[in-house]
Structure 1
Amino acid sequence: MRFLEALIVKPELGSVSSSTLPGGAGGGGGLPGGWLWECHGIWHTLFLIVSSGLFLLFLAFQAKKSVAKLSNGRSHIIIAYYAFLWLVTVLNLLWCSLQAWECSSGKEVAWSVLSLFTTSGMLFLEVSLMAFLLQGNYASGQEALTRTFGISGFIVGVDIFLKGIYTFGFGVPLFIDNNEESHRVKWGLWVVHKLLVTGVYGVIFFLYRSRWRERLPARPAFYNYITIMFGLNALALVACALAANGAAFGLWLNEGAVICYHAFYLPLLYVTFLADFFQEEDLNLENVYYSEMKDAGFFDTDWE
């Protein structure tokens, strides 16, 4: 990947303009499509674009059936969540398509703004999903919607405020991975952020394996989601900690975690939370959840 080359020539990065790079944003290097391989390399960019684009196409193909299902279901939470999922999916596709901005002179602010709102939108979906499921699957009503989005909005609002202060106030390049050695405080901030997120997922993960699991939604799909997100955030935490200590392997590991998050998180969220609601046949969801709970062993004690 191109960022490995940057580790070797890092001292010269600050003096090289984007117009001197192959296919750079400044002049394109005389070659069409330079934005594909600039900064991170063509395979990095293509993988992100294809994965995010395919999910957007999936949502588009399912839109007619999904809207009809939403109209019949009349669930305020599902309607709001589905609309916000569309917004974040479009933002994520833009983020994946404009990777060259990260290394382009004059695009640093635009890239930071795009990254801030894209990652905050995805974080909002994460927090909202937790709030939805912890108060009951597919809960509806204006009160539930207000409570859920109120909690999610407050947490994400604080996150945006703090990231905005550090990025635009103190000049810490949270979303730009060039010249890491001159901004080691950035990795310290990411360690704190990942530690908090990993801690939340970790607590829920271990609750599912304890005698208090009956207090949590008894859905194997939700447990699988928690397991995957706990593992991904723990990996990102290790990567940021290594990068904060100047380890080049941490940069590589963090890039891999970022790629996985932007490529696969939204489809994972859809499968976990919305797939059953938008299934083709109008099944009784309570019977589906009962079967899942029985398969997961939640009723084994009833036979003892």
Structure 2
Amino acid sequence: MRYTYTVGISLDSSIKGEGFGPRLYGWLFECHGFWHNASLILFSLIFVLFLASQSRKSFLKLSHGRSHIIYSYYLFLWFVSLLNFAWCSLQTWECTAGKELAWNILSLFTSSGMLFLEVSLIAFLLQGNHASGLDALTRTFAISGLAVGLDMLLKAIYLFGFGIPLFIEIDEHTHRVKWGLWVVHRLLLTGIYGFILIMYHSRWRERLPGRPAFYKYVIVMFSLNALSLFACALTGNISGLGFWLYDITTIGYHALYLPLLYVTFLADFFQEEDFQLENASYSEMKDAGFFDADWE
């Protein structure tokens, strides 16, 4: 068996209207336990606060930039970060009677939002060095929207059509079909990241963006998905090690993926201190005809 849970405190507290103390205890200590809940809440909160602290400077730079991709990613990153913080903060819903539907809906939208960011960056990487502008944004979002929309539809069918508890991890009986589905899901992502790593070490390397940060991102995501794939396979065979590894990968993904995405894709853009000056200088030089020779 994986866990022994006691949900009576949270249920009694909500029914009897007991004080803040019991509710706080249930929020932090019940369901997956203190370290699991506290880690998710703390890391997701820190990242949201970081985005908020940088928001004024970030929006100022975005308002002077012309990158549709950066602007769209930043806005969607904000939305998914808030959604992920809600998911991390409401872990007790997973083992609270009457909250199963709300938890499944929140988990479905949160996982789909994060997968959209993940697939979008993959699609951007596979478009190569010259992926920029509105056309690249359209292609990126079209590919990502189609893939994530299909994934979300299939998950909704599994959840609400067949009653497969995709996002419920607290039951003591392993659901083999669920873990089989997660194995397929992780296998696809691991295969894609593995394919990109092979491209980096092949003659097609020049087709990919040359920034080292993208290569490091792919290594991290390949490792995380490979570990999660191994954990899902073990869990499907009722392995205690599998449950433990899956918890670790879940915490790592929900706590650290969004900061990793920011550092990989957005940090350099927002750290350009002379962005406005460079933009203005470029416009002036262009108006003066300094770049006319590039078109001859």
Q: TM-score range by the shorter chain?
A: 0.7 to 0.9
Q: Which residue does 1:35 correspond to in 2?
A: 27
Which of 100, 105, 108 is the equivalent residue of 1:113?
Answer: 105
- Where 2:54 maps in the other structure, the secondary structure is helix
* CA displacement 1:22-79 (0-9 Å, x = unmatched): 9865558762402111101122111111101111111111111111111111211111
Q: Is the 8 A contact 1:191 1:237 kept in 2?
A: yes
**Aligned letter for 2:148?**
V
Give the Cα–Cα distance (whole angstroms) in 2 for the partners of residues 60 and 8 of structure 1.
Answer: 37
User: Structure 2 regions of 5+ residues with no counterpart?
Assistant: 280-296
Q: Is the 8 A contact 2:175 2:236 kept in 1?
A: no
Q: Which residue does 2:166 correspond to in 1?
A: 174
- Percent of pairs identical after alignment? 63
Q: What TM-score, normalized by structure 2, do the two folds share?
A: 0.86
**Larger RCO (CA under 8 A, 6+ residues apart):** 2
Give the Cα–Cα distance (whole angstroms) in 2 for the partners of residues 127 and 81 of structure 1.
Answer: 12
How far does residue 142 in structure 1 lie from its aligned partner after superposition?
2.7
- 2:124 is the counterpart of 1:132: yes
Which of 59, 64, 69 is the equivalent residue of 1:77?
Answer: 69
**Aligned letter for 2:250?**
V
**Aligned letter for 1:7?**
R
Q: What TM-score, normalized by structure 1, do the two folds share?
A: 0.84
Which of 2, 7, 26 is the equivalent residue of 2:2?
Answer: 7
Give the Cα–Cα distance (whole angstroms) in 2 for the partners of residues 105 and 66 of structure 1.
Answer: 42
- Where 2:269 maps in the other structure, the secondary structure is coil
- 2:254 is the counterpart of 1:262: yes
* CA displacement 1:63-105 (0-9 Å, x = unmatched): 1111111111121111111000000000000000000000101
Assess, with a 3 A threshold, how the Cα gap between structure 1 residues 122 and 170 changes in structure 2: closer, same or farther.
Answer: same
130-139 or 110-119, which deviates more: 130-139
Which of 8, 17, 39 is the equivalent residue of 1:19?
Answer: 8
How far does residue 179 in structure 1 lie from its aligned partner after superposition?
2.5
96-105 or 33-42, which deviates more: 33-42
Q: Which residue does 1:273 correspond to in 2?
A: 265
- Where 1:178 maps in the other structure, the secondary structure is coil
Q: Which residue does 1:198 correspond to in 2?
A: 190
How far does residue 182 in structure 1 lie from its aligned partner after superposition?
5.1
Assess, with a 3 A threshold, how the Cα gap between structure 1 residues 170 and 24 changes in structure 2: closer, same or farther.
Answer: farther
User: Structure 1 regions of 5+ residues with no counterpart?
Assistant: 1-5, 286-304
Pairs aligned (count): 274
Give the Cα–Cα distance (whole angstroms) in 2 for the partners of residues 152 and 225 of structure 1.
Answer: 18
- Where 1:74 maps in the other structure, the secondary structure is coil
